[in-house]
Amino acid sequence: MTMKAVSVTHVHLLAVINSELSRWQDGATVRLLDIGCGDGRLLAYLGEELVRLRPNLRLEFYGVDVRDHGVQAAGFMERTVAFLATAQPDRPWQERVLSMADGEAWPFPQDFFHVAVSNQVGEHVRDHAHFFGEVRRTLVRGGFSAHLFPLRHYILEGHLLLPFVHRIRNTDLLRAFIRTCSRLGLGKFPRFQKTGVRLEDFTERHADYMHYFTNYLTQNDVMAEAKRQRLRVSFRYTQGFYTNKLRTMAGLRPVVQYRLNRSAVLDWAATLLLRYVSSVTVFLENDETYTREHA
């Protein structure tokens, strides 16, 4: 089965990983984890494309997701494993795609992964200190992780397609805002209305979703948490995500490898603007050298 990217987010994460894999020599074993692997389609896509792009490496692919978050339907992990087993039957997915309870340690050893990624997961994490801590624990020295997710700065919230709705913490105000916007024909309610969903039901359900199942960070929050966990942090590949978006819209082939000799100043400036548009790329590295050199 040939896997295609579901969206430009998949292509972007592929490009980030492919760009950074040069840090390992030919013949090395490189383990990759998809955090919040969901239906497994990103994992299958990366499993096919990276093997094609990096045949000199021995690549192993793993996935993990939370089984009791409350949003995913019962049995979704079993369906994910079954899909992956059909798409790529030569890999031991039953042993490598695992679930955990919310807040538990990830079911993998310390210093195990060379690469970790997540796609639109960060805004749903309840305990970001735990999330960043597990990234740090499971990454080998010199490993990296790339996380594509929107920050609290962005204007048009992606789940309801309403402006600033993710910034409202007061639930009475949240319901009133969703109800008013929906009556004006904004956001996702018009398409739900066509299926017979009542305005009040839509408002209650989606206000609860925003309140209980989203947890947006600011850019400063991300940097502070990464520092607490002793992870290097940057947003260096954010520009690449939007470049690939524009290329896709123009009918051009997306880029699958980004330049490594980048301008840190331009990357930072671009992120300060693009964080208001949609997702940014949080790039973390487990490579603190000071204590190692003074050991």
Domains and CATH numbers, the chain: 8-153+216-293 (3.40.50.150), 160-213 (no CATH)
Query: Which residues are bridge partners to 284 per DSSP?
Result: 145, 233
Average pLDDT over residues 53-58: 97
Distances (CA, A) of 106 to 74, 136, 284: 20, 11, 18
User: pLDDT, tens digit, for every residue of 109-137?
Assistant: 999 999 999 999 999 999 999 999 999 99
| Position with higher pLDDT, 294 vs 110 | 110
C-beta separation of 282 from 233 below 8 A: yes
Which pLDDT does position 158 carry in this prediction? 94
User: pLDDT, tens digit, for every residue of 209-238?
Assistant: 999 999 999 999 999 999 999 999 999 999
Question: Which residues have CB under 8 Å from 99's CB, separation 6+?
Answer: 64, 65, 66, 67, 77, 107
User: pLDDT, tens digit, for every residue of 238-286?
Assistant: 999 999 999 999 999 999 999 999 899 999 999 999 999 999 999 999 9
Which pLDDT does position 294 carry in this prediction? 55
Check whether 1 has a pLDDT greater than 70: no
Strand ranges of the sheet holding 139-149, from the earlier edge strand across to the other edge: 97-100, 58-66, 29-35, 113-119, 139-149, 280-285, 232-234
- What pLDDT band is residue 8 in, cutting at 50, 70 and 90? very high
Residue 184 carries which DSSP code? Answer: T
Q: What is the largest CA-CA distance in the chain?
A: 66
Which pLDDT does position 295 carry in this prediction? 52
C-beta separation of 122 from 221 below 8 A: no
Q: How far apart are CA 26 and CA 112, in angstroms?
A: 19
Check whether 78 has a pLDDT greater than 80: yes
Q: How far apart are CA 154 and CA 247, in angstroms?
A: 22
Which pLDDT does position 290 carry in this prediction? 84
Phi, psi dihedral angles at 29 (to 5 degrees): -85, 125
Which pLDDT does position 67 carry in this prediction? 86
pTM here?
A: 0.94
Residue 46 carries which DSSP code? Answer: H
- What pLDDT band is residue 76 in, cutting at 50, 70 and 90? confident
User: pLDDT, tens digit, for every residue of 135-194?
Assistant: 999 999 999 999 999 999 999 999 999 999 999 999 999 999 999 999 999 999 999 999
Question: Which residues have CB under 8 Å from 171's CB, separation 6+?
Answer: 207, 211
Which pLDDT does position 293 carry in this prediction? 60
Which pLDDT does position 134 carry in this prediction? 98
Which pLDDT does position 37 carry in this prediction? 95
Average pLDDT over residues 77-84: 94
Considering only 11-20, 95-104, 217-226, which range has the smallest mean pLDDT? 95-104
Which pLDDT does position 31 carry in this prediction? 98
Which pLDDT does position 292 carry in this prediction? 65
Which pLDDT does position 2 carry in this prediction? 59
Question: Which residues have CB under 8 Å from 289's CB, separation 6+?
Answer: none
